[in-house]
Each structure stands twice: as structure tokens, then as C-alpha cells.
Structure 1
Amino acid sequence: MFVDRGKPPAQELLESLRQKKLHIATAESCTGGMISTTLTSIAGSSDVVNGGIVSYTNKVKHDVLGVKTETLENFTAVSEECTREMAEGAAKLLCAETAISISGIAGPTGGTENQPVGTVCFGFYVQGVISSTTKHFSGDRQEVRCKATIFAIQNLLEKIKFL
């Protein structure tokens, strides 16, 4: 949960964003705003956190974040294709140079053979470069959501560290 200097990853991310004069936006589905909550619970976060969207439904993913209907139909909301579009949409909508997006199946229901409970897709937008990954987390609903939040913050921190 902690990185090199013993600081919480969220604090280290905010410091890194601040040093690089970057801002962050979030687009969250299964985590329901946990990344935004984690970041904004730290004093001084308002100088780098531009905002966040909880896009729990496909309608919000499409209408607000600009996820293409074809993406949702062909790949589903729990896909790297979707989270890539979510991250880009959040960055553009909220005027940020970086963004994190998450969509997944926190459980306890909703999983399938191809996408079991604990499957979480992540999208990252860093100064126009979009990347994505998928992880599988064990645990109950709250554990999956917490693990996904920590992973997302740590992953973006690694992506911007050497800018």
C-alpha cells in the first residue's frame, strides 16, 4: 500500500502532479468515486484534482464521457476499450492532463465465466497518451473496490514519475 518513501500512494501522486504542474480527472464505475474520495481527503488536493465523474451506467459513460455506442455493444462496459474512452473523455471534459478510469465487476454477482467477479479494467490518460490494463482482484465487494483504487493510483503514479 505504500511506495518508496513510506508515503501513501495518493499523497505521492498528488505531490508528483503538483511538481509537474499537471491536473487529474477521474471516471469511475465500480469504485463509485473512491479514487476521487481518496485524493480529495488529502489537504491541498484542490490544486491538482479537477474533478471526477461516477459513470455507473452505460448511459452516463456514453452521454457524459463520450464512450461510443459501438464500444459498449462490441466490447461491453467492462473492457479496456471502454476504459480508454472513459479516461480520454474525463480528461477532456474536466480539462486535465491526466485521468484515471475504472470499470469492473466488484461482486458479489454479475460475473461470468469470461469476466469473473473481481475483473477490473483501468484506463489511463497522460498528456494525450492513452493506455489500459485489466486486473483480477480477490475478496469481497469492498476489498475488490479498495484494491482497484490503490492499483489505479499507484499505476498512474508510475506513469507520470519520469515525465
Structure 2
Amino acid sequence: MSQIFQRYNGIQGADDTVSQGLNTLFIVMDCCGVSPVSPFANDFQLLRTNYWINVGMRGPNTIPYSCCREATLDNYKFGQNLACTVAQQAPLVRPRGCYEAFRQLATDVSTGAIVILVIVMVTELLAVMSAIIMVRAIDREKNNTLDPSNPKMYRGREIPLPDSKPR
């Protein structure tokens, strides 16, 4: 995640898919950076992202606006709040890093995912067993009806004998 994060270019004019994806991730997952942002350091600075290196594009901001709680998918490209992006005031900044957000998401859905996987596996196992039973039954019936020595061969199908002609 850190290697992908280093390619982050910011929000203003960021047309690359990595930056757009990370901005969307910040907003949807309510996170910022790989690890939580602190007033003393952040991943944009520590990982030497393109956003941090390009001072002309970021200006005085130390974190992008997409890391602010008030940012939405509609306004993150052009919004501005210096109390959040420069001063990084705690109530305004997204509180956790994205690594923690992913870990929490995996923990939350793991029980449900395990239950669904077990149900799917049991269903597939029953389907395979049913198919095997059906194939064996069809094969057995086919073998019984084609065997001329089998007394059941003609059961249910009477063969009319030729009528004798009255004279």
C-alpha cells in the first residue's frame, strides 16, 4: 500500500487513476494515508509522495482536502479548509489510516463471509452427490432394460401375439 501511495499526486487537477482512486478511498472508507495523520507527521510527507514533493501544486497544505471529514465525492477536487489541510485540527481530519480501515472492514465481514462460503460449499457438495446418484440410477436402469435375460425387460410392454386366422 505504501508503494501505491507514493504515486499519489493530490486532488487539484489529478487526472491519474491512482490519485482518483486514493481520493475516493479516503472519502468512502473515512481514512487518510496509510497510517493515521498526526499534527507532527503524515504519510504524504514521510513516504515522499508526489503530492508532497510538488509544492507548487499543494501550496501550504500538508494533507489533501479529501482527508478532511467535510470532503465528499462531489466537492473534494475544489474544496478548501485551511484549518484541516494546513493546521490538521483533530475534529476536522479523518481519524484513521486506510490500512486500519481495511483491517477493520476485513474483521467486520469475515464472519459473514465464512458462513456464506460454508453454505456455498455444502450446496455444491450436495449437488455433486445428487448428480452422481442420478447418473448411477440412470446407468443401472439402462443396463436392466437392455439385458434380454432380465425378466423386467418387457414388463409393462406387452407384445401382442399374431392373431391366428379363423378358417
- TM normalised by structure 1 equals 0.26
Point out the structure with the larger strand share.
1
- TM normalised by structure 2 equals 0.25
Q: In terms of Rg, which structure is larger? A: 2
Point out the structure with the larger helix share.
2
